[in-house]
Structure 1
Amino acid sequence: MKELKHLNKYFKKYRLKLLLGIVITIVARLFQLVMPSYVNKSISIVEQYIRTEIEKTTAQELLLNYILIIVGAALLSGFFTFLMRQTIINISRYIEYDLKNEIFDHYQKLSLNFYKKHRTGDLMNRISEDVNEVRMYAGPAIMYGIQTLTLFACLIPLMFIKAPTLAAYTLLPLPILSVMIYQISKIIHKRSTIVQQYLSNLSTFTQEVFSGVSVIKAYALEPQTNNELTALAVDGKEKSVSLAKVNAWFFPLMILLIGISNILVIYIGGKQYLAGEISVGLIAEFILYVNMLTWPVAIVGWLTSIVQRAAASQERINEFLKVAPELKNTPSYTQEIKGKIEFKNVSFTYEDTGITALNNLSFTVMEGETTAILGKTGSGKSTILDLVARLYDTTSGEILIDDEPIKHFDLTNLRESIGAVPQDAFLFSDSIKNNIKFGKENASDEEIINIAKDAVVHENIIGFSKKYDTVLGERGITLSGGQKQRVSIARALIKKPKIYLFDDCLSAVDTETEEEILNNLKKASKNRTTLIVSHRVSSAKNADRILVLDEGKLIQQGTHDELNTQEGYYKELYHKQLSEKEN
């Protein structure tokens, strides 16, 4: 239960509604308790009439009154039960909403390292399946738990007041039931955790299969994938059946013990009636009491199962909520970003692989300057852009923006001042228009079209039947690689930020289109700081300055003309690509 303490802040938030729900629940159960005593009184009236102790008209009048009271109490109990569900169950939905928002908000604060270590399916399962299990605890478990406690608190003392001996025999099975529930609950908690972990694995597997379905089809891996899913499903079936076997013990045990209680009422009550100690009406009243206890007692097992499953799920949720964001957002600099970028002896090592991407790197990009970064694969080019956007913090050294340490800027403001086009263009399953508007939410249709023209993707878009309203598949699968890159470029351009970060974003377009886009980018990025990462000299040659990296170190820097006169990597790459173009 200690894991579920996390929900106490939400119970406190909705305490007034919860308190009202508890009062309504108690009132509903109190009206339910009216019926058995009036059934007893009704039977007593019939007995008195049989013994000619009262007249027929009097007996009929009293029976009618008692029946009306029973019906009225039942109607009121039903009405308050309806109100009970409208309060407590609604609270569970509010808590579900708040908890999902809390988890999602926390997910967004976590660094890229976290997402490298955890799979998407597992993250999705914790915010969906696990939260749903917790909601069952925050709603139905509390509602039925209060019902059960109310009935036990009112009914058991009442039974002892009316017939102590009969009550003692009737309730004899309950302690046995409690011990059984305690033992079975421990097993349920353990097996519930295993089942939830399996569901995460299943979500991860299916999510990866659906995302990579084109690769599976291309390599004819359908049979192999199906076999893997079958093995996973069989494993899940065994885990679920294992849990179901334990849960299956509850209701039969409840029914058995309630049945024993009914037999004891009839047998012990019958003996006491024959001895003249109690009336037939009291036996009938006790049978109704026992049957009123049937559902609460039976539900104890179900409630225990809900609580154990919720505790297992909340433990999994808390595991991620306890992960502290690696990037601390402690802003102290509030002035508008202009765009000067300086790296001072920056080194960076990726935590997950241990690879050192940058090694004591220093350079300065002046405000409004365009700088191209070239180098072999793995030389650290993309890492520079990630550090400027503060997706990671440096291992050592310092990055300055406008001569101020990057850590002094508010993360949101920093990233709002940056227009980034990643190497792997990511588009959402939405219309092309909305994907471009992602860079500027209130952009007009005219702005979108003009920007699409700058990104040289307008002609492609109007070729679709629904043009800019064309809805893309997952990750933009509807478009070609070059089209996705150009839509991503349009998304960055429409934002008109102070700093542009282009990470090899023209690798999937032909040289002719590349040249046109570069000319448009030059106009769009005028007076804006621009960093262009590329493997092509054609993308870099018009930059104000070119940086050449090798194994995280700066080995050359200068303009195209300067570097082309120096022996080294840049000159070799330029002449190699020039000859390839001529061929």
Structure 2
Amino acid sequence: MKHLSVLNKYFWKYRYRFGFGILFIVLSNYFAILAPQITGYIFNMIQEYVEGNSSTLRTSNYDPLVDVFIGELNARNLSFAQRLGFFGGAILVFALLSGFFLFLMRQTIIVMSRHIEFDQKNEVFAHYLTLDANFYKTHSTGDLMSRIAEDVSRVRMYTGPAIMYLVNLVFRISFCLFYMLKKDVILTLYVLSPLPILAVTIYIVNNIINKKSENIQAKLADLTTNAQESYSGIRVIKSFVQEKAMFRFFNLNSEDYKRNAISLAKVESIYFPTMTLLIGLSTLLTIMIGGLYAAKDPSGEYVSTIVEFVMYINLLTFPVSAIGWTASMIQRGAASQKRLNEFLQTEPVIKDPVQPTQTLVEGDIHFDIAGIKIGFEICEDAWVSGRPGSDLALKGIDIILNPSASHFAFGKYDIRKDFVLEGSRAFGVA
């Protein structure tokens, strides 16, 4: 998770979108949590109507907004059907408000993640432009493409959906727990008893997901590199009739990537059956324990408590089920951001001066090169000379290097020691 801390600058940059997104999450969950309370009150109202009891029902342990709404309806001289219609309309209005703020939540947080993705790609590309030829000789094009495409995309899944579902999960559970504990503490403890099993499962599976995600990203980089090199060297491959050999090599890499991806999918598949089991167990505990309490309740109002708790559990179904998916996105995002951090922390060996000066060279050119290194040492004690209008070649070694010596003169490759340029004037380059 420490690798994701570098993204805090983007959250601060888009803090208004992020802040409004969290506000919309709170409002969406708040209006969603009111429906179970009104439904529970409706059950009590129907029960008293069937029994012929016209006494005013208690509205304790409800949200203040629900209390005000129920009080206003009870103060009016309305028939049972009219009251039932108003309560049904209130449930519909609360559902529409919850859905509206859910839409705004996605329009703020998901759009924010797209802006962050755009900024990250610009940052990576800008860093590409600062690196020297040594870096590009020692890093494959496929790996660089994978970092700016796949890795940034996986990080976006963290800055968007993962953050959104994580915050939604926190507030949804907080609201549900608050009203469940307010309604019945003992029943709440019974219903939430499966949660420790969930916590242990998440801890174990997350560690496995993190390791497998890093392995998959490395395999994908190898696969991309293999494809890119095959395309760029297609003439050489055809010249030596190596099409089948390259196909077998690519097929082996693809199978290796597939095995790792399937292995990760198997681990992730543990989440959803576990979530379904725990949600079903919580529902059964609610009905069983609540039914025992309702049998001992002479007023019969405990039936509404069972109804509310079942609806609370249903509200928790998706957020709790999304824990595994959210954890997987966070772990994958952390693995991808680690790869990006390693790349972004790479400094160019040859740095351009802040204020470069232009020097006009006239006459013959002579290079006395003490050593050249491109990831590995390729020559020592070489010298190059040339007249105006002629090509340059390295002397003092067994082969002539291509590209020409001008690449070294203009700082394209790293020269370990100073060399001297002789012409109209002499100077050294490190």
TM category, shorter: 0.7 to 0.9
Residue number among 148, 152, 159 corresponding to 1:138 in the alignment: 159
Q: What corresponds to 2:26 in structure 1?
A: 26
Following TM superposition, by how much is the alpha carbon of 1:94 offset from its aligned partner in structure 2, in angstroms? 0.8
The structure with the larger Rg is: 1
Q: Give the structure 2 partner of residue 65 of structure 1.
A: 86
SS across alignment from 1:54: coil
**Per the alignment, do residues 407 and 258 of structure 1 end up closer, same or farther by CA in structure 2, a change over 3 Å counting?**
farther
Q: Is the 8 A contact 2:191 2:282 kept in 1?
A: yes
* 1:320 alignment counterpart: 343
| Residue aligning to 2:64 | none
Return the offset for 1:236. 1.6
Q: Aligned to 2:213, which of 186, 192, 195?
A: 192
Q: Any conservation in 2 of the 1:173–1:257 contact (CA below 8 Å)? A: yes
Q: Residue 118 and residue 177 in structure 1: after superposition, are their counterparts in 2 closer, same or farther (change >3 A)?
A: same
TM-score w.r.t. structure 1 length?
A: 0.65
* CA deviation string 1:482-536 (max 9, x = no partner): xxxxxxxxxxxxxxxxxxxxxxxxxxxxxxxxxxxxxxxxxxxxxxxxxxxxxxx
State the alpha-carbon separation in 2 of the partners of residues 218 and 362 from structure 1.
Answer: 34
Letter of the structure 1 residue corresponding to residue 283 of structure 2? N
Residue 113, structure 1, aligned to residue 126, structure 2: no
Give the Cα–Cα distance (whole angstroms) in 1 for the partners of residues 227 and 402 of structure 2. 33
Q: Deviation of residue 343 (structure 1)?
A: 5.8
Superposed CA deviations along residues 205-232 of structure 1, whole A, max 9, x for unmatched, are 1112222223333333232222222222
Q: Give distance in 1, aligned partners of 2:15 and 2:413.
A: 41
1:243 CA displacement: 0.6
**Aligned partners of 1:404, 1:85: CA distance in 2, in Å?**
63
Range with greater deviation from structure 2 (227-236 or 178-187) = 227-236
Change (3 A) 1:261 1:4: same
In the alignment, is the contact (CA less than 8 A) between 2:209 and 2:267 conserved in 1? Answer: yes
Q: CA deviation at 1:407?
A: 6.5
TM-score, normalized by length of structure 2?
0.87
- State the alpha-carbon separation in 1 of the partners of residues 207 and 390 from structure 2: 62
1:218 maps to 2:239: yes
User: Residue 351 of structure 2 aligns to a residue in which SS?
Assistant: coil
Q: Distance in 1 between matches of 2:114 and 2:321?
A: 25
Q: In the superposition, relative to structure 1, how do residues 64 and 257 fare at CA in structure 2: closer, same or farther (>3 Å)?
A: same
Q: Give the superposition deviation at 1:355.
A: 1.9
1:180 Cα shift?
Answer: 0.8
| Partner residue, 1:250 | 271
Partner amino acid for 1:46?
I
Quote the Cα distance in structure 1 between the aligned partners of 2:426 and 2:92: 77
Instruction: Note the 1:204-215 alignment, pairs <5 A.
Output: 204-215=225-236
Counterpart of 2:392, as a letter, is I
Pairing partner for 1:288 from 311, 319, 330: 311
**Secondary structure class of the residue paired with 1:128:** helix
**C-alpha distance in 2, partners of 1:282/1:405?**
88
Cα distance in 2 for residues equivalent to 1:226 and 1:333: 48
Q: Does structure 1 retain, via aligned residues, the 8 Å contact 2:367–2:384?
A: yes
User: Which 10-residue stretch deviates more, 227-236 or 110-119?
Assistant: 227-236
How far did residue 381 of structure 1 move? 7.5
Counterpart code for 1:77 = S
Amino acid at match of 1:93: R
Residues 1:238 and 1:333: Cα distance change in structure 2 (over 3 Å): closer
Corresponding residue for residue 354 of structure 2: 331
Q: Secondary structure at the match of 1:396?
A: coil
Preserved CA contact (<8 Å) 2:374 2:413 = no
**CA contact 2:372–2:414 (8 Å) conserved in 1:** no
Question: 1 CA distance for matches of 2:227 and 2:393?
Answer: 38
SS in 2 for 1:356: strand
Q: 1:224 to 1:255 in 2, by over 3 A?
A: same
Alignment of 1:412-491 (within 5 A): none
Taking the TM superposition and a 5 Å limit, the aligned residue runs for 1:167-566 are 167-276=188-297, 278-333=301-356, 337-339=359-361, 345-356=368-379, 359=382, 361=383, 369-374=388-393, 378-379=399-400, 382=403, 384-398=405-419
Partner of 1:455: none
Letter in 1 for 2:179: L
Name the residue aligned to 1:91. Answer: 112
Rounded to whole Å, the distance in 2 between the matches of 1:162 and 1:403 is 90
Q: Which residue pairs with 1:40 in the alignment? A: 40
Query: Highest relative contact order (Cα 8 Å, sep 6+), 1 or 2?
Result: 2
Counterpart Cα distance in 2 of 1:363 and 1:279:
98
* Identity, % of aligned positions: 37
Post-superposition CA distance 1:150-170 (Å, at most 9, x none):
011211121011011111111
C-alpha displacement at 1:338, in angstroms? 3.7
In structure 1, the residue matched to 2:49 is 49
Change in CA separation of 1:352 and 1:284 when aligned onto 2, cut-off 3 Å: same
More helix by share: 2
Residue aligned with 1:349, SS: strand
**Cα gap change, 1:345 to 1:211, in 2 (>3 Å):** closer
Which deviations, in whole Å up to 9, do the C-alpha atoms of 1:396-429 show, x marking residues without a partner?
2245698596879xxxxxxxxxxxxxxxxxxxxx
SS at match of 1:22: helix
* Alpha-carbon shift at residue 23 of structure 1 (Å): 0.8
- Contact conserved, 2:282 with 2:313, CA < 8 A, in 1? yes
Using a 3 Å threshold, how does the CA distance of structure 1 residues 358 and 59 change in structure 2: closer, same or farther? farther
The answer for the alignment partner of 1:560 in structure 2 is none
1:153 partnered with 2:174: yes
Please list every run of 5 or more consecutive structure 2 residues that lacks an aligned counterpart in the other structure: 56-76
Question: How far is 1:185 from its partner?
Answer: 0.2
- Note if contact 1:357-1:383 (Cα within 8 Å) is conserved in structure 2: no
Query: Aligned-pair distance for 1:41?
Result: 1.2
What amino acid maps onto 1:127 in structure 2? I
Q: Offset of 1:358 from its aligned partner?
A: 5.2
Q: In structure 2, do the counterparts of structure 1 residues 224 and 387 end up closer, same or farther at CA, with 3 Å as the change threshold? A: closer
CA distance in 2, matches of 1:392, 1:269: 76
Q: Which residue of 1 aligns with 2:70?
A: none
Q: Distance in 1 between matches of 2:205 and 2:160?
A: 23
Give the unaligned 5+ runs of structure 1: 409-583
Question: 51-60 or 255-264: which moved more?
Answer: 51-60
RMSD of aligned Cα (Å): 2.5
How has the CA–CA distance of structure 1 residues 30 and 399 changed in structure 2, closer, same or farther, with 3 Å as cutoff?
Answer: farther
Q: 1:2 to 1:406 in 2, by over 3 A?
A: farther
